[in-house]
């Protein structure tokens, strides 16, 4: 039986407004009604895996506001174990302010809130000093502090769990950041990046493998994904779907891929499941609202 999938990462409330055009500095543009939805890369990937039938635990922080209550309730409703999601008094929950132009161009302002307070001692407190066990999978992103992500990766490796890193969003380069990223790459088993993130790390997939990960996966949007491991490289084409909104597609891919790899599926099959989940997410608007179920993914795969 597959182990548990533990996601260490962010929880945000997304507030989106559609506008005919983005406002210039100092200008006011009237938009449509605000659409509120749960987001954050960590929570999105946790929900993605849970909808596909995974046993999922979320580790993160929310504030003591109404958004925090709603975010935790949303996880629980999806079957995600939220007992390791802490609440900070006097701190707001993470918030993303999204303005979307008619042609899809958008601006996003992110207020990390409680996510920025997920330090290493807090991680240890939330997990009781035991993040994972043998046979589990730990899924990480970069919307919480880098030292915490690194500590989680070390804990996963020490426990004999599979460590999967979605290196997104890639932070601005700098001596401290570059050092921590180098250490992080050296202690994860699977690295998932998109094309721009791969370029930002300054290497092609094979060269990224040489920095530590046994497997490197590069997502290619509608074109699918490619991967490199110790044996060979693999290319999985995308699925032809009527895409309306790519928000959440990458998180759907990561949740499905991590779940499949944790269950022991071969890399090509895991890639195919990830591409199917990502394609289906692109056919619906929103982040968590767009994430597909296991039955939907199975139907797209023809089984």
Is residue 61 a contact partner of residue 125, using CB atoms and an 8 Å limit?
Answer: no
For the chain, state the CA radius of gyration.
Answer: 18
Cα 288 to Cα 168: distance, rounded to the nearest angstrom = 17
Looking at the chain, list the stretches that DSSP marks H as alpha helix, in order from N- to C-terminal side: 41-51, 66-77, 120-127, 146-159, 175-185, 195-200, 205-209, 249-262, 267-281, 294-300
Could you read off the pLDDT of 32-43 as tens digits, one per residue? 999 899 999 999
Q: What is the pLDDT of residue 10?
A: 98
User: Which tokens in the block code for residue 58?
Assistant: 């979320």
Distance set, CA 160 to CA 31, 154, 245 (Å): 50, 10, 37
Residues assigned a catalytic role: 251
The correct CATH number of 41-58+116-300 out of 3.40.50.300, 3.40.50.450, 3.90.550.10, 3.40.1190.20 is 3.40.1190.20
What does the pLDDT look like over 36-70, one tens digit per residue?
999 999 999 999 999 999 999 999 999 999 999 99
Q: Are 141 and 168 in contact (CB under 8 A)?
A: yes
Residue in 186, 187, 185 with CA at minimum distance from that of residue 158: 187
Task: Say if CB 49 and CB 255 are below 8 A apart.
Answer: yes
Query: How far does Cα 135 stand from its chain's mean position?
Result: 21
* Listed range (91-95, 156-160, 201-205, 269-273) with the worst mean pLDDT: 201-205
Does residue 227 sit in helix, strand or coil? strand
Q: With a threshold of 0.75, does the pTM exceed it?
A: yes
Beta strand 190-194 with 215-219: parallel, antiparallel or unpaired? parallel
How far apart (Å, rounded) are the C-alpha atoms in residues 47 and 173?
A: 30
CA distances from 77 to 51, 64, 81, 95, 115 (A): 11, 19, 10, 20, 21
pLDDT band at 235 (very low <50, low <70, confident <90, very high): very high
153-to-88, 188, 265 alpha-carbon distances in Å: 24, 6, 22
Residues 120, 153 contacting (CB under 8 angstroms): no
Q: Please report, rounded to a whole number, the percentage of residues in the chain having pLDDT higher than 70.
A: 99
| Each residue's pLDDT tens digit, 103-120 | 767 788 889 999 999 999
């Amino acid at each position: 039986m597959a182990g548990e999938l533990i996601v260490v990462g962010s929880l945000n409330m997304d507030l989106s407004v559609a506008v005919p055009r983005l406002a210039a500095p100092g200008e006011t543009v009237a938009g449509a009604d605000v659409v509120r939805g749960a987001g954050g890369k960590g929570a999105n990937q946790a929900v993605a895996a849970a909808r596909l039938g995974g046993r999922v635990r979320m580790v993160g922080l929310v504030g003591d506001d109404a958004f925090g209550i709603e975010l935790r309730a949303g996880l629980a409703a999806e079957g995600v174990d939220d007992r390791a999601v802490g609440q900070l008094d006097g701190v707001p929950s993470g918030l993303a302010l999204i303005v979307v132009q008619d042609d899809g161009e958008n601006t996003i302002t992110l207020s990390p809130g409680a996510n920025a307070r997920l330090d290493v001692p807090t991680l240890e407190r939330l997990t009781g000093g035991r993040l994972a066990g043998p046979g589990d999978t730990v899924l990480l992103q970069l919307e919480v502090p880098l030292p915490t992500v690194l500590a989680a990766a070390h804990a996963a490796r020490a426990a004999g769990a599979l460590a999967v890193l979605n290196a997104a969003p890639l932070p601005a380069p700098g001596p401290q950041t570059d050092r921590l990223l180098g250490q992080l790459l050296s202690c994860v088993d699977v690295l998932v990046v998109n094309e721009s993130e791969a370029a930002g790390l300054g290497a092609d997939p094979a060269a990224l493998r040489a920095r530590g990960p046994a497997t490197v996966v590069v997502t290619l949007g509608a074109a699918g994904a490619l991967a490199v491991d110790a044996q060979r490289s693999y290319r999985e084409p995308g699925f032809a779907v009527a895409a309306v909104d790519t928000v959440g597609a990458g998180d759907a891919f990561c949740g499905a891929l991590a779940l499949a790899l944790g269950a022991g599926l071969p890399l090509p099959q895991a890639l195919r499941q990830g591409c199917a989940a990502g394609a289906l997410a692109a056919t619906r608007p929103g982040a968590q609202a767009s994430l597909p179920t296991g039955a939907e993914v199975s139907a797209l795969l023809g089984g």
